[in-house]
Amino acid sequence: MNTTELQKVLDGRFAEVRADVRERLAKEDMTADPGLSVEEYRALTLANLRKLAASGHPHRGFSGDVGGVVTAFAMLAFADLSLLVKAGVQWGLFGGAIQVLGTSRHHDKYLQPIMDGELLGCFAMTETGHGSDVQHLRTTATYDPSTQEFVVHTPDPSARKDYIGNAARDGHLAVVFAQLITGGESHGVHALLVPIRNRRGKPTPGVTIGDCGHKAGLNGVDNGRLTFDHVRVPRVALLNHFGDVAPDGRYTSPIANETRRFFTMLGTLVRGRISVAGGADTATQKALTLAIRYGNIRRQFADPATGEESAVLDYLVHQRKLLPALATTYALHFAQDEMVHTMHEVQNPGASQDEARQRDLETMAAGVKAVGTWHATRTIQMCREACGGAGYLSENLLPQLKADTDVFTTFEGDNTVLLQLVAKTILSDYGKQVGKLDLAGKARFGVELVAGFALERTGARALITRGGLRDRAYQRYLFVEREEHQIANAAQRMRAALKPGADQFAIFNAAQDHLLEASRAHVDRIVFDAFARAVDGCADAQTKALLDKVLDLHALSVIEAERGFFTGHAYLTAGRAKAVTQEVNALCGELRPHARDLVDGFAIPEVWLECPLLAGEHDAAAPATNPAPPVEGPSDLSAVG
Amino acid sequence: MNTTELQKVLDGRFAEVRADVRERLAKEDMTADPGLSVEEYRALTLANLRKLAASGHPHRGFSGDVGGVVTAFAMLAFADLSLLVKAGVQWGLFGGAIQVLGTSRHHDKYLQPIMDGELLGCFAMTETGHGSDVQHLRTTATYDPSTQEFVVHTPDPSARKDYIGNAARDGHLAVVFAQLITGGESHGVHALLVPIRNRRGKPTPGVTIGDCGHKAGLNGVDNGRLTFDHVRVPRVALLNHFGDVAPDGRYTSPIANETRRFFTMLGTLVRGRISVAGGADTATQKALTLAIRYGNIRRQFADPATGEESAVLDYLVHQRKLLPALATTYALHFAQDEMVHTMHEVQNPGASQDEARQRDLETMAAGVKAVGTWHATRTIQMCREACGGAGYLSENLLPQLKADTDVFTTFEGDNTVLLQLVAKTILSDYGKQVGKLDLAGKARFGVELVAGFALERTGARALITRGGLRDRAYQRYLFVEREEHQIANAAQRMRAALKPGADQFAIFNAAQDHLLEASRAHVDRIVFDAFARAVDGCADAQTKALLDKVLDLHALSVIEAERGFFTGHAYLTAGRAKAVTQEVNALCGELRPHARDLVDGFAIPEVWLECPLLAGEHDAAAPATNPAPPVEGPSDLSAVG
């Protein structure tokens, strides 16, 4: 099969950037020897960062091609994830914060040296005591009108900045998020520029720098801790796009409400979240490429009929470990491509402010990040197990992929908290929809809920089978029904909290798992839709037919995983649920011959896949036959009565 | 609550050994600095191994206390898993193979220096091309009667011994598994002693030693590769308990059938599999201890009613991440304790040969190892995520637990292959049961199957609710029904393979997922039974009441996870399935206040838990209150219509 067409579909909207990255970066040797010490790995990662700066890629992002630069950086996962994170910190977080939260006085002074990799810096938001709830971080920045300075201070050890990339070794300037206090009044979290190292690389006065030390992975990134002891910075160090302090100390802001201001500021940083999702996707693609290609050449246990040892990817259970995950990886890839494109449109400097679209983007980014990074860490784990002992050796690349991506479920937003934020938004939308209905409408809405319940009880829902399990409209019907049901269910449980005297925490807590179910169902549906759009837009017939099956496998494996919901709410009979599993198994068998093509479509440069694991591809000759006659193995059935 | 009683129950049959290990080994500093190089870590692990030898523990195992030594070594997981594996290789595999496969000439010469840690050696079974299917490994040992020697040879690179602990750096002697050929005839796999290093530590002639290099974890273990180029060893180097070669080359064996002989030999090595399961259990107990204690002190997001930040373990979803896993860890702990006791009885030198009991032990060991190591790696992953960024720092011990236990799902038997072996045994037993029935019995059996199907269709099964979800008999009923149903289902699918001309591989492959379902259901039921026996045997009323709830949580969380099966086969109505989830949530809430006690019951010496993660326990004062009024957070419900 011609995989050029498949690659074209996967390369999507930013195909040019991808081709450029494949060509330029593949020439550089950016992979890290697994035996490097922490200091060696940090030094190597900095050197690689400087090579990246020299390539001109970061400059694209600051000149408006946000979609292109996010796409390019995600591909760094093929080479080295420490470099991806280091680059993300330097240009995405540090440079990005200055760009969107600062004004021209900051842009003129800092953006160029940041892009050039001359000025290295940190994004100092997270504190030891406040990771998810950053709105209540405790570093303070108090304005002193007599000197026109801010005094930045860490009030106690739990308020120290923690896990800060570029802090332990390389950074000279930090974007520090602190509670802004002026005239005795707090105006919430704002960002200020605080030097942390002088030209000689020593900590600046009042700044104490700690080292997070060795980590499970990403040891090329110098995560550290920052403590400020009444550190003074000029008034103009405040990144003043969303709020400013005049020389006399008077505070002004285009957004009056403090909470709304904070979340607006955070929202502009959505690019980091989208970048992390992209990095997780590409890391998963690399892991699946290794595991599937190995599954083609690794042979174990003889087929009793032929005496030939079978390739492990011929085993149904091995297919089930890798192929549904590959299908979901395709789905997330297309969702990511759409999301990056939307971000590009919404966030381009020339774009008009579209708050609704921005908010939708933030919600989608939160949900896709959570689902995508969980998928990544579970799938890469599965790939390691599928490659047995060979998958445990660092020379075969899977250990680093697993260890490096592990924290992606935590940084840029803890996944559980992100899904709660998604729930809050979709419930709010749902509430508005319900709120908008007039009295008759509300009654009707109630009737619909009751009717739905009746449908459920009589099992009539299960009669809605449409064109069968491979019918796109039927699959979508199941995804949408699950989404709507879970949202309505979650909303119903939360409604109790609106009663006077209600124990809001207890009600929230009792409904918490339902909130997450609603979010997951929502994200599953939007990812499904994105994959369906990609398939529909495919011009080449042969490629479209293949992607159709991959989408079938993705959809049915999600439905299979959620069969408890679908049978429990009478969307599927017990018999139909079994048929779903049979269909998943059948699709695994149908796609198995195309597995190599499907991973070739990711077009990962071979230099980044070189490892002993795949050495056997060179001599993929006839499989070894056992000289002994057919023997007992797992396929010996004579013992079964 | 008095946790002394709880600890007593958990310490079980080998309480004395556990107390001894806690006292002696806690005094030694055996933990490894995360920044060690591979060479440094290997050297440290060897030094720790020698300390262990000096403690006298290994000698217990060779003098008959097999249960005690397996229990003691599993506890090494609290300190360092590289040491656990190194010790397991040296004494369990290398020494163990010589003890059970060799005879007095080998025992007299080698066992003492092995126990003393003077003679270091390897267990060289796995080959690059044969991991799971070791029956078809390809190293040869060909007898030369003219010199009364065996010629040990590696015919091609895929036959090299691979992943061999103690090979790359420290081992001097290897137990090499090879196809024994004498008089031109092969007699299957046997074990021979082959020197691999001389006194000066150099490879012996004809032996090439390779290094597997850096791994995802367990870098204190020197895994290496062995290639033999026509290496000659004396005839008496054959470990000749199960088969012997006379000076003239004549082969004799107490077991005529070659395959049966091979699996009997393998079966005696079941101790390794049981040890690995035990190590996985203790590693999981350590991870849960860290995560639960942290969950008590880590606070984030304010309760709107009080303004106080909530401990993360107060959140339902956080409880659901940790408490059901803790309950299952309890279940596996009790199953392990029973299994070790059985092994102790069956394998003690004085014990009479009981083949049936040995075979049952092997089957249980395979199943519990598979289920237990998967539980370990998934749970330790969840613990890392539950501890957020702090869980990613090596100083907080979770990264090492995750990386080190990751390969436990692969070595000592790939989990998927193990579950297939379990399926084969239980289907065989099932077949014998069916076979034993007379004609009337078979008819009745058929009627039972049909009646069962009818019960399923009418939903009458779901009426069997007995005493409710917390009724032990009802829980067992569900576990047993699932086990029996899945076994019958798998057997039915395999029966087609008995027809003449059947494509056995295709039928096996189509049924492979059903085979694994049958095995999992079987293991789930026997683990449940072991936990129930432990609860029943508990003397202290307060402890028993607590363990009762933990067993409820374990049972119902398994039922919840398998609700697709239970609703799909009409054991649970949709409504009852929802009630299961509500009950799991309720149990999480009821056990949350006891979470600390439950992990204290493992009695892990504090010195092995010391890390910055738990530093906050010292100042677990009043929770921080936010000075600001109640603010938006995930519990802000005003946005819900």
pLDDT band at A439 (very low <50, low <70, confident <90, very high): low
Q: Residue B632's pLDDT is what?
A: 32
Percent of chain B with pLDDT over 90: 73
Q: Do A581 and B35 touch (CB under 8 A)?
A: no
Q: Do A641 and B434 touch (CB under 8 A)?
A: yes
Interface test with chain B among A33, A36, A136, by most B beta carbons within 10 Å: A136
Summarised one tens digit per residue, pLDDT across range A34-54 is 999 999 999 999 999 999 999
Whether chain A has a CB inside 8 Å of the CB on B492: the answer is no
Q: Do A389 and B578 touch (CB under 8 A)?
A: no
Task: Give dist(CA B254, CA B127) in Å, integer.
Answer: 27
From chain B, pick out residues whose CB is under 8 angstroms from the CB of A636.
424
Least confident of A247-261, A281-295, A605-619, A625-639: A625-639
What residues form DSSP beta bridges with A189?
A179
Task: Give dist(CA B579, CA A516) in Å, integer.
Answer: 18
Residue B635: closest C-alpha in chain A: A508
Q: Residue A464's pLDDT is what?
A: 66
**Do A273 and A421 contact (CB within 8 A), yes or no?**
no
Contacts of B27 by beta carbon, 8 Å cutoff, 6+ apart: none
Question: What separation in angstroms does the CA of A227 have from each of A158, B316, B351?
Answer: 10, 34, 65
Q: Residue A634's pLDDT is what?
A: 37
- Mean pLDDT along residues A19-31: 84
Of A135, A497, A569, the CB nearest to B631: A135
Q: Residue A436's pLDDT is what?
A: 62
Q: Residue A509's pLDDT is what?
A: 86
From chain A, pick out residues whose CB is under 8 angstroms from the CB of B395.
213-214
**Do A343 and A335 contact (CB within 8 A), yes or no?**
no
Q: Do B424 and A631 touch (CB under 8 A)?
A: no
> Chain A neighbours among B 46-75 (CB < 8 Å)?
none
Summarised one tens digit per residue, pLDDT across range B550-565 is 999 999 999 999 999 9
What residues form DSSP beta bridges with A245?
A251
Positions of E strands within A212-353: 224-228, 231-234, 244-245, 251-252, 299-302, 309-311
DSSP letter at A207 equals E
- Mean pLDDT along residues B279-296: 98
Task: Examine the pLDDT at B109 and tell me if it is beyond 50.
Answer: yes
Task: Examine the pLDDT at A498 and tell me if it is beyond 80.
Answer: no
Task: Give dist(CA B8, CA B13) in Å, integer.
Answer: 9
For the record, the structure tokens of B445 come out as 């059996």
What residues form DSSP beta bridges with A227?
A208
Q: Residue B216's pLDDT is what?
A: 97
Task: Examine the pLDDT at A239 and tell me if it is beyond 80.
Answer: yes
Least confident of A368-372, A620-624, B376-380, B495-499: A620-624
Q: At how many degrees (to 10) do helices B316-347 and B574-591 cross? A: 90
The larger pLDDT score, comparing residue A623 to residue A303, is at: A303
Q: Residue B436's pLDDT is what?
A: 62
For the record, the structure tokens of A149 come out as 């300075």
H-run or E-run covering A141: strand A140-144
Nearest to A382 by CA among A333, A319, A296: A319
Model ipTM?
A: 0.92
Residue with tokens 């069962």: B452
Task: Give dist(CA A458, CA A456) in Å, integer.
Answer: 6
pLDDT band at B446 (very low <50, low <70, confident <90, very high): low
Q: What is the dihedral of CA A524, A526, A530, A531, to 10 degrees?
A: 20
Of B314, B507, B564, the CB nearest to A563: B564
Q: Do A631 and B259 touch (CB under 8 A)?
A: yes
Summarised one tens digit per residue, pLDDT across range A150-193 is 999 999 999 999 999 999 999 999 999 999 999 999 999 999 99
Q: Residue A584's pLDDT is what?
A: 98
From chain A, pick out residues whose CB is under 8 angstroms from the CB of B35.
37-38, 213-214
Task: Examine the pLDDT at B354 and tell me if it is beyond 90.
Answer: no
Q: Residue A62's pLDDT is what?
A: 78
pLDDT band at B640 (very low <50, low <70, confident <90, very high): very low
Summarised one tens digit per residue, pLDDT across range A1-18 is 778 999 999 999 999 999
Of B131, B309, B567, the CB nearest to A389: B131
pLDDT band at B333 (very low <50, low <70, confident <90, very high): very high
Least confident of A403-407, B104-108, B445-449: B445-449
For the record, the structure tokens of B579 come out as 């009630």
- Mean pLDDT along residues B116-140: 95
Q: Do A215 and B392 touch (CB under 8 A)?
A: yes
DSSP letter at A94 equals I
Of A129, A305, A394, the CB nearest to B505: A305
pLDDT band at A101 (very low <50, low <70, confident <90, very high): very high
Q: Do B216 and A402 touch (CB under 8 A)?
A: yes
Q: Residue A614's pLDDT is what?
A: 97
From chain B, pick out residues whose CB is under 8 angstroms from the CB of A626.
136
Residue A561: closest C-alpha in chain B: B564
Whether chain A has a CB inside 8 Å of the CB on B605: the answer is no
Residue B414: closest C-alpha in chain A: A388
Q: Do B505 and A410 touch (CB under 8 A)?
A: no
H-run or E-run covering B162: strand B161-164
Task: Examine the pLDDT at B447 and tell me if it is beyond 60.
Answer: no
**Do B70 and B343 contact (CB within 8 A), yes or no?**
yes
- Mean pLDDT along residues B400-421: 95
> Chain B neighbours among A 497-536 (CB < 8 Å)?
497-498, 503-505, 507-510, 512-513, 515-516
The larger pLDDT score, comparing residue B623 to residue A594, is at: A594
For the record, the structure tokens of B68 come out as 């005690």
Summarised one tens digit per residue, pLDDT across range B592-620 is 999 999 999 999 999 999 999 999 998 76
From chain A, pick out residues whose CB is under 8 angstroms from the CB of B507.
637
- Mean pLDDT along residues A141-156: 98
Task: Examine the pLDDT at B458 and tell me if it is beyond 80.
Answer: no
Q: Residue B314's pLDDT is what?
A: 95
Summarised one tens digit per residue, pLDDT across range B414-445 is 999 999 989 988 888 877 766 665 555 555 55
Least confident of A483-487, B80-84, B247-251, B438-442: B438-442
Q: Residue A632's pLDDT is what?
A: 32
Q: Do B399 and A216 touch (CB under 8 A)?
A: yes
Q: Do A491 and B641 touch (CB under 8 A)?
A: yes
> Chain A neighbours among B 94-123 (CB < 8 Å)?
none
pTM over 0.90: yes
From chain A, pick out residues whose CB is under 8 angstroms from the CB of B133.
300-302, 309, 633
H-run or E-run covering B153: strand B149-153
Task: Examine the pLDDT at A429 and tell me if it is beyond 90.
Answer: no
Q: Do B133 and A301 touch (CB under 8 A)?
A: yes
From chain A, pick out residues whose CB is under 8 angstroms from the CB of B421.
634
Give how far B582 is from chain A: nearest CA, Å.
Answer: 9
**Do A116 and A53 contact (CB within 8 A), yes or no?**
yes
Q: Residue A419's pLDDT is what?
A: 95
- Mean pLDDT along residues B533-539: 96
Least confident of A168-177, A485-494, B196-205, B476-485: A485-494
Summarised one tens digit per residue, pLDDT across range A445-460 is 555 555 555 556 555 6
Q: Residue A432's pLDDT is what?
A: 73
Least confident of A466-470, A563-567, B483-487: A466-470
Interface test with chain B among A133, A264, A363, A461, by most B beta carbons within 10 Å: A133
The mean pLDDT of chain B is 90
DSSP letter at B129 equals S
pLDDT band at B626 (very low <50, low <70, confident <90, very high): very low
Q: Is B137 exposed, middle or buried (0-12, 13-18, 19+ CB in 10 A)?
A: buried
Percent of chain A with pLDDT over 90: 73
Q: Do B504 and A304 touch (CB under 8 A)?
A: yes
The larger pLDDT score, comparing residue B115 to residue B349, is at: B115
Which amino acid appears at position A257 of this protein? N
From chain A, pick out residues whose CB is under 8 angstroms from the CB of B494.
637, 640
The mean pLDDT of chain A is 90
Summarised one tens digit per residue, pLDDT across range A561-574 is 999 999 888 899 88
Whether chain B has a CB inside 8 Å of the CB on A432: the answer is yes
Task: Give dist(CA A78, CA A28) in Å, integer.
Answer: 12
**Do A294 and A387 contact (CB within 8 A), yes or no?**
yes
- DSSP helix, strand, coil percent of chain A (3-state; round to 5): 60, 10, 25
Q: Do B641 and A434 touch (CB under 8 A)?
A: yes
Task: Give dist(CA B137, CA B142) in Å, integer.
Answer: 14
Q: Do A641 and B435 touch (CB under 8 A)?
A: yes
H-run or E-run covering A61: helix A57-62
Residue B417: closest C-alpha in chain A: A634
Q: Do A424 and B626 touch (CB under 8 A)?
A: no
Whether chain B has a CB inside 8 Å of the CB on A407: the answer is yes
Number of cross-chain residue pairs from A and B with Cβ atoms under 8 Å apart: 299
- Mean pLDDT along residues A78-85: 96
Whether chain B has a CB inside 8 Å of the CB on A446: the answer is no
From chain B, pick out residues whose CB is under 8 angstroms from the CB of A304.
504-505
Q: Are strands B173-182 and B121-124 parallel, antiparallel or unpaired?
A: parallel
Task: Examine the pLDDT at A605 and tell me if it is beyond 70.
Answer: yes
Q: Are strands B231-234 and B149-153 parallel, antiparallel or unpaired?
A: antiparallel
* B601: number of Cβ within 10 Å: 27
The larger pLDDT score, comparing residue B200 to residue A431, is at: B200
Whether chain A has a CB inside 8 Å of the CB on B371: the answer is no
> Chain A neighbours among B 208-227 (CB < 8 Å)?
212-217
Contacts by B151-155 with C-beta closer than 8 Å and gap 24+?
Answer: B151/B230, B151/B231, B151/B232, B152/B176, B152/B178, B152/B192, B152/B194, B152/B228, B152/B230, B152/B231, B152/B232, B152/B233, B153/B228, B153/B229, B153/B230, B153/B231, B154/B226, B154/B227, B154/B228, B154/B229
Q: Residue B430's pLDDT is what?
A: 77
Which amino acid appears at position A44 of this protein? L
Q: Do B568 and A568 touch (CB under 8 A)?
A: no
Least confident of A156-170, A258-272, B202-216, B400-414: A258-272
For the record, the structure tokens of B71 come out as 């229990």
Nearest to A612 by CA among B213, B219, B405: B213
CB contact burial A86-120 (16+ within 10 A = b; e otherwise): bbbbbbbbbbbbbbbbbeeebeeebbeebbebebb
Whether chain A has a CB inside 8 Å of the CB on B184: the answer is no
Q: Do B567 and A569 touch (CB under 8 A)?
A: no
- Mean pLDDT along residues B461-470: 75
Which amino acid appears at position A186 of this protein? S
Task: Give dist(CA B593, CA B525) in Å, integer.
Answer: 28
Positions of E strands within B183-323: 185-195, 207-211, 224-228, 231-234, 244-245, 251-252, 299-302, 309-311
- Mean pLDDT along residues B492-521: 86
pLDDT band at A507 (very low <50, low <70, confident <90, very high): confident
**Do B105 and B147 contact (CB within 8 A), yes or no?**
no
- Mean pLDDT along residues B583-593: 98
Task: Examine the pLDDT at B364 and tell me if it is beyond 90.
Answer: yes
Least confident of A622-631, B91-100, B323-332: A622-631
Whether chain A has a CB inside 8 Å of the CB on B430: the answer is yes
pLDDT band at B456 (very low <50, low <70, confident <90, very high): low
Of A314, A416, A505, the CB nearest to B304: A505
Q: Residue A277's pLDDT is what?
A: 96
